[in-house]
Chains A and B, each alone.
Chain A
Amino acid sequence: MKRSWYATPYALWMLLFAVVPLVFVLWYAFTTPDGAFTLSNFAEFSKPRYAAVIIRSLKLAVYCTALCLLIGYPTAWFLAGRGLNRTQSLVVLILLPMWMNLLLRTYAMMTLLDDNGVINSALAALHLGQIKFIGTEGAVLMGLVYNYLPFMVLPIYTVLKKMDWSVIEAAEDLGANPLRVMSRVVLPMSVPGIVSGVTMVFMPAVTSFAISTLLSNGKLRLAGDLIDYIFNQSSNPNRWNIGSSFSLMMLVLILISIGFLRKVDPDNQGGGLW
């Protein structure tokens, strides 16, 4: 039996649940409910209320990625430190949220941020007034960062951990002070990890679904929520066609960003996540 035959179950699975649906998406995106070819589905997104969602999605995803990188890189650096004996358990602690369901994590976030939630109760007890979290972009951003931070830490940690520490000593030996060791050796050498981390955070963040609905009481939709909303618009006869065209656009957007990231890490040293 040829080796490739062992992949038959997977191939069938993919054919049935990925390839066929994609063909449907393509078909619906370029047709009217009557089956005639059209590009008008894409024109829907020039409507301000749809365009705003796309812009908000992109904006929040970029902010989220940047915040994750700012918080995640120092964390990964700390975890990869060689003086640390307890690292293994610390790594587990940081990655623990990854093992929990996204919705559970978001509900936990809601409990914290709610008008009558943990934070506001504490503030009230201290007579410090209230802060409105739920319904703001800030709360959604917090939810996104909270959910996707481990995906930034892990690949960077892996790259830093693998790095030969004598390289750092070599840089010091050649006259680099700690700041320059960081900027000229450590950072450039960890680019593959950063690229992986950015990909792993940006892609799910830009298409994230449910997080923002939950943290804004349905007021702030992101791209994922919008697709969900369109498909469920029972009064709209075009809902499948418009929803499909929107899905397709998100797919293209992601492919473009991957193509861009691939340029930064051409050797795919970050673990080959795509």
Chain B
Amino acid sequence: MIQDTRLIEIKGVSKSFGDTQVLHEMNLYIRKREFVTLLGPSGCGKTTLLRILGGFEMPTTGEVLFKGKDMTGIPPYKRRINTVFQKYALFNHLNVYDNIAFGLNLKKPEQLGCGSRAEMKAEIARRVTRMLKLVKMEGYEKRSTNALSGGQQQRIAIARALVNEPEVLLLDEPLGALDLKLRKEMQLELKAMQQQLGITFIYVTHDQEEALTMSDTIVVMNGGRIQQIGDPKGIYDEPKNAFVADFIGESNIIDGVMLEDDLVKFSDTEFQCVDEGFATNEPVDVVIRPEDIMIVGEDVGMLTGVVESVIFKGVHYEMMIRSGDYRWKVQSTTMQPAGTRVGMTIVPYNIHIMHKLPKEA
């Protein structure tokens, strides 16, 4: 599905607002038909990067290539890119139909393959109807946008962008204002639309689960820098640093020392691992997912600890287990009551060793 052609290339893009630098030397390419998610906490620069792609901001340095051509100075209305805005930004002086037809109405008949104004009108009607069907809003043509619910407004905003058949659709936290159930439905629908239409989607969110659900590629950002680029599974299973590990899913992050290849020491205990290439005695971050810690008998565990609290989470129990001066978060389908002394074991490939993050980041 994804073609190996680079549709958009972001080369050395930095952006400053006054004295604050929000993007540092970003390098990234986006392929045709790819669903790319820019993921990070608020203030990480993901929306700024999206706005640079849309043409609403200019990079301070660096360039953005679209099909190999520099599009840095091109205004938004000349780009074959459309945006779904965070707060929908519908035109409330127009009804649903005219909102969706807005972009098409600005075109010349020949741009829509029509010979006359009348032909164009019919073509626009055809396309708007098709879009309304795609977003499941048939029959809403004459409604005022003020009378729509948040979810409905979002659908109209998506239809309004997609009807122009852009090569790239930018989505700025489009589901942020919807309730959980609706959000999950829309995630699947958006993904299905993207695959059906074969359009490149660039999606901004701070919701890691949303990113994991929809993306082909996730770009994890923090502090205006790219932390990791990879597919959802790669990012979840092999986070490159403690920030990514902490931001994607839940993690225990503990200080350790790399004694030699495949041997790490933390919690005063030596563990076999599968990481190599660290300096001898290098201080490292050790990341272990809560579901990768197995609770065993006190006498056979690699670590021992006392269960401090238990929370029922539905599929599993989440226990906080104190061992030495660290509280481990452990998820298990079997419950140990608070106060129990337990043992814990971790298999080597579930121990992820990461270089310490530079202090300023």
Name A residues whose Cβ lies closer than 8 Å to a Cβ of B. Answer: 164, 166-167, 169-177, 180, 184-185, 188-189, 191
Contact = CB atoms under 8 A, between A and B. Distances in A.
A169 B87 CA distance: 12
Interface core residue of A169, A171, A173 (most chain B CB under 10 Å): A173
Interface in B71-105: 75-77, 81-83, 85-87, 89-93, 102-103
A170 B91 CA distance: 9
Given A167-B91, A169-B89, A189-B91, A175 B75 contact: no
Nearest to B100: A174
Interface string B204-220: 00000000000000000
A180 B106 contact: yes
B107 interface: yes
B115 to A, nearest CB: 21
Contact of B103 (A164, A167, A174, A188): A174
A185 B105 CA distance: 13
A174 B89 contact: no
5 contacts: A169-B85, A173-B77, A173-B83, A175-B106, A191-B93
B349 interface: no
- Per DSSP, chain A at the interface is helix
Nearest to A192: B93
A176 B89 CA distance: 15
A174 B164 contact: yes
A177 to B, nearest CB: 5
A191 B93 CA distance: 10
Contact of A174 (B55, B92, B93, B160): B160
B219 to A, nearest CB: 22
Contact of A164 (B54, B55, B89): B89
Interface of B is mostly: loop
Nearest to A170: B89
A171 B77 CA distance: 8
Interface residues of B, number: 24
Given A166-B89, A172-B55, 19 more contacts: A164-B89, A166-B87, A169-B54, A169-B85, A170-B89, A170-B90, A171-B91, A171-B102, A172-B75, A173-B54, A173-B77, A173-B81, A174-B106, A174-B160, A174-B164, A175-B164, A184-B102, A189-B92, A191-B93
B89 A172 contact: no
Contacts of B29: none
Interface centre among A167, A188, A189, A191 (most CB of B within 10 A): A167
Instruction: Give the 10 A-B residue pairs with the shortest CB-CB distance, closest first.
Output: A174-B103, A166-B89, A170-B89, A172-B76, A188-B93, A175-B106, A173-B83, A167-B89, A172-B77, A175-B77
A175 B56 contact: no
B161 to A, nearest CB: 8
Nearest to A191: B93
Given A173-B76, A173-B82, A189-B92, A164 B87 contact: yes
A169 B106 contact: no
Contacts of A176: 77, 102, 106
B85 A174 contact: no
A174 B83 CA distance: 8
Contacts of A167: 89-91
Taking each of A169, A170, A188, A191, which has the highest tally of chain B beta carbons within 10 Å of its own beta carbon? A170
A170 B83 contact: yes
Contacts of A189: 91-93
Contacts of B102: 171, 174, 176, 184
Contacts of A171: 91, 102
A133 B160 CA distance: 55
Contacts of B164: 174-175
A48 B93 CA distance: 46
A176 B75 CA distance: 10
A175 B103 contact: yes
A169 B50 CA distance: 13
A184 B103 CA distance: 11
A174 B82 contact: yes
Chain B CB within 10 A, most for which of A171, A175, A184: A175
A185 B160 CA distance: 15
A184 B76 CA distance: 16
Contacts of A174: 77, 82, 102-103, 106, 160-161, 164
A184 B81 CA distance: 20
Contacts of A177: 75, 77
B93 A169 contact: no
Contacts of A188: 93
B77 to A, nearest CB: 5
B57 to A, nearest CB: 11
A170 to B, nearest CB: 4
Contacts of A180: 106
Contacts of B86: 166
Nearest to A165: B89
A166 B85 contact: yes
A189 B90 CA distance: 12
Contacts of A191: 93
A185 B91 contact: yes
A175 B111 CA distance: 13
B91 A169 contact: no
A174 B93 CA distance: 16
Nearest to A187: B93
A175 B164 CA distance: 9
Contacts of A164: 87, 89
Nearest to A190: B93
A175 B107 contact: yes
